[in-house]
Structure 1
Amino acid sequence: MSLGHLGRTADRRVTGPAMALLALLCTVFAASAYGKVRSTTAWQSFMSSLKPLGLVPERLLRPAAIVLPAVELALAIALLAGVLGGFAKLDGVLAIARWAAAGAIAVLFVLTVGVATAVARRTKASCACFGASTRPLGRLHVVRNATLLIIAVLALLATGDRSASAGALVVGAVAGVVGAALIIRLEDLADLFFPAPA
């Protein structure tokens, strides 16, 4: 699929499955951005969590801690436009959603590679994706990011010749938010069944 094709979607519509994928990604990126900047302490904790990763030069820790939440917030807003536009059945809204999904793919690819690299190096850095966490980065986080990457690819490809009914869109949106909640709280679920070693 060419980049030019991303914009030629005026005759396509947001389907129920596409709505679920967009809502999930929107919720995840919004929660991730909020978790990092909800307070000065949270933001400083996030910035500090970047250092043990060994992936960002120390002089760039502060800029990186500013840019990443800003990008996540921008993606969340663009994805939200896709969700709301899907309900309103606006022409061309799928182009916005697809560009947002393409941006999500790029960000998630970088994050997945970064986390996988940190895990391979056994840095023992903690995950601050959605705020402070005491669980060290591990395969769980690689799988989570890789899953989100696949979801973003599916969101980029999910289209339909006819728009879904309002009921299908609502079900899709709710399913997406519920799926996002499970992804966001994945560490808590893992700690419940598989506590991290002390």
Structure 2
Amino acid sequence: MGDSMGYALLACRFLIGGVFVVSAVSKLRGRAAFREFETAAQEMGAPVRFRRPVALAVVAAEGLIPLLLVVPPGGLAGLALGGAMLIVFTVAMANALRRKKTTSCACFGSSTAPIGRQHVVRNVALLAVAGTGVAAVLGGAPEFPSHAGGIAVAAFAALVGVLLVIATDELAAVFAAHVPHQEN
């Protein structure tokens, strides 16, 4: 059981790390992308005068998370910080939805899709991944499993997860297009 938990922990670390790397890089790829994220941060509750410091702090934390995921024991600090960030993002999105804000999340770069329930669900799923990783570390899972095949499977599963997370808006649009409309 120890090795299987080690591979699960590794997959959690790869997935959380990959998501936060893509998120940080997408916000830093140009001035327009960062300004769009600043606007989204303001729309989700950051005061106007603090929107730039908030945006900078978010990007700095997103960049720090993958680095912390390689720090023993088992990347616990990275998983915990990732989980904390996901809680903050989820609450901000839920509040924006409650206030009927129509901003995009700008989570992974430019997006015209407004924040929706799919973003909250995505973040809750990622929070579950981070929580699973924390539980695995606290449960004594091995940090670095030894079988190359298991490591490859964990990495592939995490890659698929990262791609699904990044494609949240597109997947939501596809599924929404196939939901039958009920007539009144």
Q: What is the CA-CA distance between 1:14 and the residue it aligns to?
A: 7.0
- Choose from 76, 95, 99 the match for 1:98: 76
Q: Which runs of 5+ in 2 are unaligned?
A: 178-184
Q: Which residue of 2 aligns with 1:151?
A: 129
2:84 counterpart SS class: helix
1:174 aligns with 2:152: no
TM-score by length of 1: 0.80
Q: Which residue of 1 aligns with 2:182?
A: none
Give the distance between the partners of 1:56 and 1:14, measured in 2 at CA.
Answer: 38
2:75 counterpart SS class: helix
Check 1:14–1:97 CA distance in 2 against 1; reply closer, same or farther (3 A cut). farther
- Choose from 52, 59, 63 the match for 1:62: 52
The alignment-based identity, stated in percent, is 35
Q: Which residue of 2 aligns with 1:116?
A: 94
Q: Which residue of 2 aligns with 1:189?
A: 171
Q: Which residue of 2 aligns with 1:160?
A: 141
Give the distance between the partners of 2:169 and 2:4, measured in 1 at CA.
Answer: 35
Give the distance between the partners of 1:112 and 1:36, measured in 2 at CA.
Answer: 18
Give the distance between the partners of 2:22 and 2:141, measured in 1 at CA.
Answer: 28
Q: Which residue of 2 aligns with 1:16?
A: 7
- Choose from 21, 29, 35 the match for 1:30: 21
Q: How many residues align?
A: 171
Contact 1:15 1:169 in 2 (8 A): no
The letter of the residue matching 2:104 is: S
Contact 1:37 1:43 in 2 (8 A): yes
Q: What is the CA-CA distance between 1:193 and the residue it aligns to?
A: 3.1
Q: Which runs of 5+ in 1 are unaligned?
A: 1-11, 83-92
2:111 counterpart SS class: coil
CA-based RMSD of the aligned residues comes to 2.0
Contact 2:119 2:168 in 1 (8 A): no
Q: What is the CA-CA distance between 1:52 and the residue it aligns to?
A: 2.3
Contact 1:14 1:164 in 2 (8 A): no
Q: Which residue of 2 aligns with 1:44?
A: 35
Give the distance between the partners of 1:161 and 1:175, measured in 2 at CA.
Answer: 18
Q: Which has the higher contact order (CA 8 A, sep 6+)?
A: 1
Contact 1:15 1:164 in 2 (8 A): no
The letter of the residue matching 1:65 is: A
Give the distance between the partners of 1:194 and 1:164, measured in 2 at CA.
Answer: 43
TM-score by length of 2: 0.85
